[in-house]
Amino acid sequence: MNETVEEEWVEETTPFERVYELIRRAYDPVSAAEIADRARVSPTTARKHLRTLESAGEVTTSQDGQTTRYRRSETAIVTEHAQSLLEERTPEEISSGIADMKAQIQEWREEYGVDSPEEFARALDVDDVDSDHGALLREWQTTRRNLALAQATLAIGEASQTGHLTGTDADDDGDGGTSLVV
């Protein structure tokens, strides 16, 4: 950032907002000192906000010698992707996509006689990995990951709709039950 933009950013945001904005883009672990430097806060302030974000499930930590390193949690990443997907697609479209992905995975299982892309990879020769089989392997892994994301998205959407994420109960039938389609 140039200095003017950075100064505006510091003036228009709180220290917490700057730490959160930076850690939301941290897929590789970073130290509190690195976040502090970029967020223009003290390392103590950065650590305080990072601990808050860790308690909220937004951040995970790892140790690198004496240094604690921080990065976005997998849960936070999945939740963000799920919320984006819910904004772009209806639950019916997501359910349809789930059915299509499950059918494709079943086709691969039957065609290659294996249950997972890992089993498929073990069955390949080393030379096959860079061929069409390698592309299929990556596609299968991606489809499986997208299937899990779509299923999580439906669960988050259902929980939001019924109030189970917020602590309120928005069920129309009053039984508190939920019906998740996966």
Write out pLDDT tens, residues 111-151. 999 999 989 888 876 555 557 788 888 999 999 999 999 99
- Share above pLDDT 90 across residues of the chain, in percent, rounded to a whole number: 62
pTM > 0.75: no
The rounded distance, in Å, linking the Cα atoms of 98 and 149 is 10
Residues, the chain: 182
Is there a contact between 171 and 158 (Cβ–Cβ < 8 Å)?
Answer: no
CA distance linking residue 118 with residue 162, whole number of Å: 37
Return the domain boundaries, the chain: 3-72, 76-162
**pLDDT averaged over every residue in the chain:** 86
Q: Where are the alpha helices (DSSP H) in 30-90?
A: 32-39, 43-55, 74-88
Token readout for 101 is 């992905």
- 100-109 pLDDT, tens digit per residue, is 999 999 999 9
Quote the CA–CA distance of 110 and 147 in Å, as a whole number.
Answer: 18
Architecture of domain 3-72: Orthogonal Bundle (1.10)
* Cβ atoms of residues 89 and 74 within 8 Å: no
Q: Which of 66, 12, 10, 59 lies closest to 39 in space, CA to CA? A: 10
Neighbours of 36 (CB within 10 A): 22
Count of CB atoms situated within 10 Å of the CB of 39: 24
**CA 10, 11, 15, 21 torsion: positive or negative?**
negative
Question: Is the CB of residue 95 less than 8 Å from the CB of residue 154?
Answer: yes
